[in-house]
Every structure is written in C-alpha cells, then in structure tokens.
Amino acid sequence: MDENDIRPKFLEIEHKKVIKNDVMWLKEKQKNFSLVCCPSCGSNNYKYLYKKYFLTQVLCKDCNTQFVNPRPTEKILKEFYSRSVNYEFFAKNIFSRTEEVRLKKIFMPRAKYLSKKIDTKGKTLLEIGAAYGFFVEAVKKLKLFKKIIAVEPTPDLAAKLRKKNNLVVIEKAYENIVMKEKVDVVANFEVIEHLYNPKKFLKWCYDITKPNGCIFLTCPNISGFETTVLGKFSTSVDHEHLNMFNPNSISLLLKNVGFKFIEVTTPGKLDVDLVRSALDKKNIKSNALGGFLQQLYKENNTKKLKQFQNFLSSSGESSHMMILAYKK
Ligand SMILES: [Zn+2]
C-alpha cells in the first residue's frame, strides 16, 4: 500500500483548497481558543515548537507529547466538524474511491489482530466514530462478536450505517450517551488525536467497558520515523490533530484512567512513501536526511525500501500506532 492508494494524488490540489477553507474558519475563532496542560500527563511544563497553519504546536517536556496549545474548545470543535468542507470532500471523493483498499489493507488487518488477541465469541463491540463502517464490515466478515454497536454523530454517516444488517447505530456524540449495558470491547480509530480532552473520552470508554474488557484504538505516533523526519511537514501535523502522542505517552494516559496491560504496536505502512513524497515536493531537502537515508532514497531499490518499512513497522518506529489495553 502506498499513499496514492488511500489519498489519490490527482485530488491533492482540490484537497488543499478545502483544507484552507477549514483552516480559515478555525482562524476566525482563534480568540476563543483555550490553553490546556499536556493532554497525556497533565504537566504544564512544555515548550514552543513551531506554528503550522496558524496553530501553535508545543512539546511536553515531561512526556514528549506534541499538542496544539491554545486550542479550539469543545464547542468550537463541534461546530467545526458539523460544517467541515474537508470532511465532505473526503466522503465524496476520497473514501468512495479508496473503499476497497482501506477495507482490505487497513481494517481487515485490525480486525484480525483483535481476533488473535481476544476471544470475541458471544461478546459485544462498541465502535465510536464508526464513520463509513469499514471496521464494522471487517468484523462482520470475520464473524467476530455477537453484538455490534456503532456510535456515529454525523447524520449522513449514521444513515448509511443503519442500512447494514445486525448493527445497532447510536447517532449521538459520546458525551450524550447513557449506556444501559457495559460492553466487552470499545474501539475507536483516528479519534483521540482530534479531541479537546482525550482523558475525559478515555475515562468514558473505561466506564462503559466490562471488567476484563478492553479498548482498541489507533492514532498517529509523533515519535515515529515519518513524523520525526518530516517534523512540521508531516501530514499528521495538521489543524485537526490536537494531540500527537508517542507510545509512552499514550500508555501513560491509558494507565491514568485505569487501563492495564497496554500493548502498543506500530503497524503503519506509509512512512517510507510519505518521506519520499515530501522529498519529491521539496518540502524537505535531501541533505537534511543525513548520508544513510539520502543514499537509501537515491538508490531507490523497491525491495530494500519495503524491507526498511517492514523494519519500522515491526520495531515500533512507524508513525502510526495501534493500542490494545485491558480493564482488569
Ligand atoms: Zn506530558
């Protein structure tokens, strides 16, 4: 899988325009942003890194979480996502074109990983931010879980999810849901980096999980290969990602809300390709990579680059991470 498989390159210019529109909308609300402490460890000991778009990125000196500070409040974010032209663009142009590859290369492996880790027979899964239902689809294909609940506050997406069989759809933001029963597995993918208050969200997840249940999530890893090499030019650093954890800081946060036995893996597959793309676009200079990487990219040996990506993924150094944590 490369970047073009999930974000077609011919849509890039159009995509940039819609992002600009969203960024401008946020910028107008700037005076109402609020200052926060580190979203992982709660420390107030952070340093200024750089600005991207107009947002200030800071780094926690205690746990190395990178975060946007000051940041849009919960109220601003709610309005932002309900009118985001970027989300609309993704729905119409990107997800529809990349559905098959996303299911096969991203969501099936996630579902398979989960099925190897836990016994899902007779159990209940709740996914927050089920969106297009890729994970729901993957889980169904593998015949995992007895009951699946999909939480999706966006009306259009919720309507699509309702068309799927044997699926309970809750069209609400998680804060407004009162669960009558606890669930065995809470899943959420690429959700936590968008939130104003990730700890509050994880606490909610913890509270609705049965004893011996678990949480399963994915998010960017700010200390991975691509995010480290590209810094502010990483596509992970954007106006939507307010919290950029690393394996240690996400573990710390999960521990703080009560989860135990935290397993972090980095199955990301795009690091090598994203760095190449940044070189092609001249976002970074080749000599900034250092001699070793410069040679690797110059040589352009497909097999070797693939092996390098496999090394990054298997050694915990990819910029996309997956976490499983238990309530015991
Ligand atoms: Zn911290």
Mean pLDDT, the chain, integer? 94
Determine the distance separating the centroid of ligand 1 and the alpha carbon of 42, expressed in angstroms: 6
pLDDT tier at 266, thresholds 50, 70, 90? very high
Average pLDDT over residues 221-246: 97
Determine the distance separating the centroid of ligand 1 and the alpha carbon of 32, expressed in angstroms: 24
Determine the distance separating the centroid of ligand 1 and the alpha carbon of 237, expressed in angstroms: 18
| Stronger pLDDT, 130 or 9, i.e. the higher one | 130
pLDDT at 9: 79
* Residue 232 clears pLDDT 90, i.e. is over it: yes
pLDDT tier at 269, thresholds 50, 70, 90? very high
pLDDT at 88: 80
pLDDT digits (tens, 9 = 90+) for 44-102: 999 999 999 999 999 999 999 999 999 999 999 999 998 888 878 877 787 778 888 88
Measured in Å, how far apart are the chain's first and last C-alpha atoms?
Answer: 36
Which residues share a beta bridge with 185?
125, 214
Which residues share a beta bridge with 243?
67
pLDDT at 93: 81
pLDDT at 154: 87
pLDDT tier at 10, thresholds 50, 70, 90? confident
pLDDT digits (tens, 9 = 90+) for 100-126: 888 999 999 999 999 999 999 999 999
Determine the distance separating the centroid of ligand 1 and the alpha carbon of 151, expressed in angstroms: 29
pLDDT digits (tens, 9 = 90+) for 200-217: 999 999 999 999 999 999
pLDDT at 170: 97
pLDDT at 254: 98
pLDDT at 247: 98
Q: Which domains does the chain have, with CATH numbers?
A: 3-326 (3.40.50.150)
- Go through 273-308 and write b for each residue having 16 or more CB atoms within 10 A of its CB, e for each that does not: bbbebbbeeeebeeeebeeebeebbeeeeeeebeeb
Determine the distance separating the centroid of ligand 1 and the alpha carbon of 231, expressed in angstroms: 18
Spatial neighbors of 148 by CB under 8 A, at least 6 apart, are 124, 125, 126, 127, 136, 139, 140, 166, 167, 168
* Residue 228 clears pLDDT 80, i.e. is over it: yes
pLDDT at 54: 96
pLDDT at 89: 81
DSSP state of 300: T
Please tell me the distance from the alpha carbon of residue 149 to that of residue 159, in angstroms, as a whole number.
14
Determine the distance separating the centroid of ligand 1 and the alpha carbon of 44, expressed in angstroms: 8
Spatial neighbors of 113 by CB under 8 A, at least 6 apart, are 265, 267, 322
Determine the distance separating the centroid of ligand 1 and the alpha carbon of 199, expressed in angstroms: 12
Determine the distance separating the centroid of ligand 1 and the alpha carbon of 224, expressed in angstroms: 17
Determine the distance separating the centroid of ligand 1 and the alpha carbon of 41, expressed in angstroms: 4
Determine the distance separating the centroid of ligand 1 and the alpha carbon of 250, expressed in angstroms: 10
* Residue 4 clears pLDDT 80, i.e. is over it: no
